[in-house]
Amino acid sequence: MRGNMRLKGRTSVSLGLTAIVAAAAAAQMQSAQAARLKTIYSFCAQQNCTDGQLPLGGVLADPSANLFGTASTGGAHNGGTVYELVANAKKTHWTYLPLYDFCAAQDCADGDQPQGSLIRDNDGDLYGVTTKGGAKDEGSVFELVPNSGRTSWTLVTLYSFCAEADCGDGAEPATKLTYAGDAAGLPYDPSSPLFGTATLGGAGGYGAAFEIAHVRAHPKYKVLYSFCTSGNFSCAEATYPNQPYLDANGDLFGLDCCQGGPDQFGAAWELVPAAHGNYKEHTIFQFDGDSPSTTGEAPESGFVQGASGLLYSVTSNGGYKHGTEYSGVLFSLQLNGKSPATEKILYGFCSLDGCPDGKAPVNSTPVIDTHGALFGTAIHGGYRNDIGDQGAGVIYRFKGVYSVLYSFCPDSGCADGAYPSNVVLDASGDLFGTTEQGGQFGRGTVFEMIP
């Protein structure tokens, strides 16, 4: 990825003045917002990080404000953990509980490196993916079932990837499953299929979309679509798909980071149900690799859909408008039937000198509230007192106007966390999420943010 480049021709005086104004504004905003962020848990609090470390992908909040999530490493066997943070009656304190430690089986046949957010069914079972481990060390889809007293949990492997020759069934699943009702915030009904993507494998070796049907009774895995079956690295369609979004019509939408389309800077795709349970792929938008890129490039997150039908997401790099080159963009796509979708750049990150507005939104699928406001994160930028423009990420809000709600790591030590990933909204409108690093012990945090 190319770094952010400053427009030539501005005088050094104007650059300096802009930087001073931006830093002063960011410092004032940081001071006003700091009290609104609460660190719920700092990882590696236990010896040898048996409580986990490096939480990636955010958390799941249940109606009682209990939080569920994954840490990709650490745990009793250093294969990662699934954990619960149990809220007290006033929702002012959370108690950490380990639910499962991966790599408990020989050769990590039970899975290794869980990542991404979990989903929960109407009985309280949890579902997620591991990106490694399983029967062939290419990842797995799992279900965690609590016993009657919820004092212990049993892991059920629903599928281990690379079961077919040359991984024709896929390998290394993307870090988010979905299902009918997911977009509406409904709990999962385990009699309906789970949908996901594998970032590698498939018939062409460039990833696959899949479903797992009859989940609770007899899990049945099926490849719905294999990307780029021509085997041509520069094929026009998407490759290496990110996590899918399922709309009310049963169509799957998603992005690929870096290879899809002739320019190979990423693409947006739609999978439409076709005959005999198969799906047909439409590449609905291709991100350009121009220098500078006007569309943004390298989308590494997923989609969220607004009430108007627009799809929203971010790119982790690129973007250019009115003489300013960005480090990622927040954008919308308007679907146009069989014609390519229309992109609108809503905001360009790092548009201020010093990047106090954030930089590089990675693993940051936006969320949308009932008023149509978008919330998300960027892993770099934000104002930080001791190292100026480097920062450790921001939480932002966008509804016509972009604003930074919080800048991480205002001082050395990053006790509040560093490098945030996805956030979720609870019923009261509070945000919950994780940071990859920082916290009291330097190995990541879970936080609450009151917008």
Q: List, for residues 227-248, the tens digit of each pLDDT value.
A: 988 765 566 677 889 999 999 9
CATH superfamily of the domain spanning 299-451:
TolB, C-terminal domain (2.120.10.30)
The structure tokens listed for 260 are 């899809």
What's the mean pLDDT when you consider all of the chain?
88
Quick check: 419 pLDDT over 80? yes
Instruction: Give me the mean pLDDT over the 133-154 stretch.
Output: 94
* CA 132/CA 115 separation, integer angstroms: 10
Report field, pTM of the whole predicted structure over 0.75 = yes
CA atoms within 13 A of residue 381's CA, in its CB half-sphere: 30
Please count the residues of the chain. 451
Phi and psi angles of residue 26, each rounded to the nearest 5 degrees, phi first: -65, -40
Instruction: Give me the mean pLDDT over the 388-392 stretch.
Output: 69
Question: CA nearest 250: which of 178, 357, 300, 186?
Answer: 178
Q: Domain coordinates of the chain in residue numbers?
A: 299-451
- Which of 1-15, 149-163, 268-282, 284-298 bottoms out in mean pLDDT, i.e. has the lowest? 1-15
* CA 275/CA 284 separation, integer angstroms: 21
On the 0-12 / 13-18 / 19+ scale of CB atoms within 10 A, 254 is buried
**pLDDT tens-place string over residues 186-199:** 999 998 999 999 99
Quick check: 222 pLDDT over 90? yes
The proportion of the chain whose per-residue pLDDT surpasses 90, expressed as a percent, equals 70
pLDDT band at residue 23 using 50, 70 and 90 as cut-offs: very low
Per-residue pLDDT at 232: 58
Quick check: 384 pLDDT over 80? no
* E strand spans, 161-316: 171-173, 194-200, 208-213, 220-226, 245-246, 252-256, 267-273, 279-286, 304-305, 311-314
Instruction: Give me the mean pLDDT over the 13-27 stretch.
Output: 40
On the 0-12 / 13-18 / 19+ scale of CB atoms within 10 A, 216 is middle
**pLDDT tens-place string over residues 47-89:** 999 999 999 989 999 988 999 999 999 999 999 999 999 999 9
Burial 255-294 (b: 16+ CB within 10 A, else e): bbbbbbbebbbbbbbbbeeeeeeebebbbbbbbbbeebbb
**pLDDT tens-place string over residues 81-110:** 999 999 999 889 999 999 999 999 999 999
pLDDT band at residue 32 using 50, 70 and 90 as cut-offs: very low
Per-residue pLDDT at 17: 37
Phi and psi angles of residue 171, each rounded to the nearest 5 degrees, phi first: -155, 150
Instruction: Give me the mean pLDDT over the 321-344 stretch.
Output: 92
Within 10 Å of residue 23's Cβ, how many Cβ atoms?
18
